[in-house]
Amino acid sequence: MSITRRTFLSATAATTALGPQAVLAQAEESTLLAHLNGLLTRNPITTLENLAAIRNQSDLSLATSLIFASRFARGDPGAFDSVLASLTGADHAGWFEWMLWQEQNPQIASHLVYYEFKRQTLFRIDPNWERFLLPQYVAPDSMRIRFEELTWGGVVLDGIPSLDNPDLITADEASYLLEDDLVFGVSINGDTRAYPLRIMGWHEMFNEVIGGVPVALAYCTLCGAGILFETQLPSREDPLVFGSSGFLYRSNKLMFDRQTDSLWNQFTGQPVSGPLVDSGIELAQRPVVITEWSRWRADNPDTRVLSVNTGFARDYGPGVVYRDYFASDDLMFPTLVDETEHRQKSYVFGVRLAGGAKAYPLEAFEGGRVINDQVGFHNLVLVGDAASRSVRAYDRGDLEFGQDLSADGVTWTQTEDALVAPDGRRAPRVAGHISYWFAWQGYLGSEADLWRE
């Protein structure tokens, strides 16, 4: 059953003077919605009775509703597997595997009742989500992602609270940090700051003004990517302020802006639903680096550091947040991954510029390394060290840099803003970020290059 936004909205709108056929169709949809809701009761017998009723429909378009319900239903998951197998002809076990099947089969349209069933179920978890999931926002051709692949991340709206203009302290005052603690290092217009990953893992977002520039660091712990976005748009008077919605798409967080309640893809910096979905906005990136605290402090002695006094009760100890996930090769949420060349949670450094994008395996920087390369229309030099998960990219122009950062007969000095020659020439810094391979490959794989030796 293929439906468009127009038919979806007309079917979900309040109607008057319905004809006999429309009344019958509405009654059938109400009955079907009741069966779907019946899957989520506490009584396993009731669940099986409703599963049988749905199975008797023999309607493939109900598969997505069953996959969604299987995550929340009580009782034997094998019963859902059996009905899904009868509808689809596929053989899988459990919600995770069926979600992968669903991603592989985008041609299978959802039944009209799916949208209301999913909305109602999610609102039971958090009624505050209604503002993101209005019927006109989730209609089939309204979102820039598939509503079927929007999943609950296990927390409610702002359950992972953002840090908005948080308290900062001096490097000397940051006695809580260990030498090898990893930090996000940011420097804009001489304003240099460090945000430890052991704190940011609990918050996944800060909204700040750094060096006079409004920015947000969107950190998706699930995909290993912290991306620094500019939040002041030419079309708006005030900068956008972002938070975490509690939703995921292909194991990547969906953030939202507090001004319009649009949902955004954290990895691309683009709105995917809501009032800004057709705006054409793509947030500009700023450089950010992950590195060890001892190295950041040595290179930036005047840095300020995020305080542990965030206003939230969290265990900010080393190695606490997401310990098991970071130590595992597995993903927490389903998404298809091509592991032909790299494991799904191998780290890469990604650069996106005019004319192209490219990912560099972090392992290429083992022992510290300088790589000269080209991305799109730009000649770059990348300076990295895999041990500290650190990579910085610079626009090298026509120069070729050696492993000692020598070029044109002189040795250049590395700073957060540029590589600087003794005579004052500069190779400016270029934005890029670390991420897990699955996220880069999943969002940019077909549009990006992969660096190889």
pLDDT, one tens digit per residue, over 220-231 is: 999 999 999 999
In this structure, the answer to whether residues 170 and 305 fall within a common structural domain is: yes
- The residue among 146, 175, 199 that closes a domain is 146
Looking up tokens 């950062």 gives: 405
Question: What is the structure's pLDDT at 8?
Answer: 44
Query: In this structure, what DSSP letter does residue 110 have?
Result: P
In this structure, the answer to whether residues 249 and 343 fall within a common structural domain is: no
Distance of CA 62 to the CA centre of its chain: 28
Question: What is the structure's pLDDT at 27?
Answer: 74
Check if the beta carbon of residue 365 is closer than 8 Å to that of residue 384. yes
In this structure, the answer to whether residues 264 and 389 fall within a common structural domain is: no
Residues ≥6 apart with Cβ < 8 Å to 101: 67, 88, 90, 92
Tell which phi-psi region holds residue 413, choosing left (phi > 0), alpha (psi between -120 and 50) or beta. beta
Residues ≥6 apart with Cβ < 8 Å to 50: 35, 36, 38, 39
Question: What is the structure's pLDDT at 20?
Answer: 54
In angstroms, the CA 417 to CA 394 distance is 9
Check if the beta carbon of residue 7 is closer than 8 Å to that of residue 22. no
Percent of the chain with pLDDT over 90: 91
Residue 152, domain member (yes or no): no
In this structure, the answer to whether residues 199 and 222 fall within a common structural domain is: yes
In this structure, the answer to whether residues 268 and 359 fall within a common structural domain is: no
In this structure, the answer to whether residues 374 and 432 fall within a common structural domain is: yes
Alpha helices in 139-218 (DSSP H): 197-203
In this structure, the answer to whether residues 195 and 315 fall within a common structural domain is: yes
- Structural domain harbouring 266: 163-323
In this structure, the answer to whether residues 85 and 119 fall within a common structural domain is: yes
In this structure, the answer to whether residues 14 and 81 fall within a common structural domain is: yes
Q: How confident is the model at residue 1 (pLDDT cuts 50, 70, 90)?
A: very low
For 297-338, write each residue's pLDDT tens digit. Answer: 999 999 999 999 999 999 999 999 999 999 999 999 999 999
In this structure, the answer to whether residues 71 and 176 fall within a common structural domain is: no
249 pLDDT above the threshold of 80: yes
Q: Rounded to two decimals, what is the model's pTM? A: 0.93
For 344-360, write each residue's pLDDT tens digit. Answer: 999 999 999 989 999 99
Question: What is the structure's pLDDT at 19?
Answer: 57
In this structure, the answer to whether residues 24 and 95 fall within a common structural domain is: yes
Question: What is the structure's pLDDT at 9?
Answer: 47
In this structure, the answer to whether residues 113 and 38 fall within a common structural domain is: yes
Residue 372, domain member (yes or no): yes
Provide the greatest CA pair distance for the chain: 86
82-102 average pLDDT score: 98
Percent of the chain with pLDDT over 70: 94
Q: How many domains does the chain have?
A: 3
The whole-chain average pLDDT of the chain stands at 94
